[in-house]
A = this chain, B = another copy of it.
Amino acid sequence: MPVRVVGFDGDDTLWHSETRFHVTQGEFRDLLKRHVPDADVDTRLAEMEMKNLSIYGYGVKSFTLSMIETAIELTRARIPTADLEVILGWGKRMLMQPTELLDGVEETLRGLSGRYDLLLITKGDLFDQESKLARSGLGEMFLGVEILSEKNADTYRGVFQRRGIKPEEFVMVGNSLRSDVVPVVELGAFAIHIPYVVTWQLEHVDEEALPRQGWRRLAGIREVSTVLLDDFGSSAGRP
């Protein structure tokens, strides 16, 4: 069955995201080192984010709240309030930054949008993701947008049901093996993995846990078009 619907992840697939978290986290590390020079700030923050994930979910607001909590905990509440105000400001800066597209995104989507139904399928904070899409200028290329609180087999199955998509006619394109590849292939659909320069610790997957087939890894989004035609048999003349 030819591919009919192509899903795209947003953060670090269409636009830069994780590098911004990295920049802020670097500033956070420097700020805390002034108060607790020996602290392992990155590890402690990662643990805090993991601990808070089931309460806060994903996104910049959750990250900001976890930074504040980590700062208070690591300094045993000795960090000055003015420094916490600085952290609040970083969160707002991240939320207000213009959406910066990855290389080749716009022309690739434009090329695909006439031939396939394109869906944006992201996770994270609803308000922040809608705001990023609005600022990206890519809105009209997508037939629909699905913002999920978590990307797993259940939530992808929900998307397929809501939109009448058969797994065999769907390809997901994204930078996360855990969120964009593994659950999609599990449902019998296809996936294209395009690694981003940085991967958030919570998104890591052991290579052994990866499916053997049903997905491919590409170096950049520009190759998606060719691969859709060649590998997944979506070209009209193919068997």
**Residues of chain A having any CB pair with chain B under 8 Å:** 52, 55-59, 61-62, 64-65, 68-69, 72, 75, 77-82, 84-85, 88, 91-92, 95-96, 125-128, 130, 144, 147, 149, 162
The 9 closest A-B pairs by CB, nearest first: A57-B127, A126-B126, A61-B61, A77-B81, A77-B82, A127-B149, A72-B85, A130-B149, A55-B95
**Chain A interface secondary structure, helix, strand, loop or mixed?**
helix
Give Cα A231 to B57, complex, Å. 42
5 extra interchain contacts, Cβ-Cβ under 8 A, other than A64-B65, A65-B91?
A56-B61, A57-B128, A61-B65, A72-B84, A77-B85
Q: Would you call B144 and A126 a contact (CB within 8 A)?
A: no
Instruction: Return the chain B residue nearest A93 by Cβ.
Output: B55
Write the nearest CB–CB distance from A158 to chain B, whole angstroms. 9
Q: Would you call A62 and B65 a contact (CB within 8 A)?
A: no
What copy number does this chain have within its complex? 2
Instruction: Return the chain B residue nearest A147 by Cβ.
Output: B126
Write the nearest CB–CB distance from A62 to chain B, whole angstroms. 7
Chain B residues with CB under 8 Å of A147's CB are 126
Give Cα A61 to B207, complex, Å. 35
**Most chain-B Cβ atoms within 10 A of its Cβ — which of A57, A62, A128?**
A57
Give Cα A147 to B155, complex, Å. 14
Give Cα A79 to B79, complex, Å. 12
Q: Given A79-B81, A144-B162, answer yes or no on A88-B61 (Cβ-Cβ < 8 Å).
A: no
Chain B residues with CB under 8 Å of A130's CB are 149
Give Cα A147 to B65, complex, Å. 23
Partner pick for A88 among B69, B81, B92, B128, CB 8 A cutoff: B69
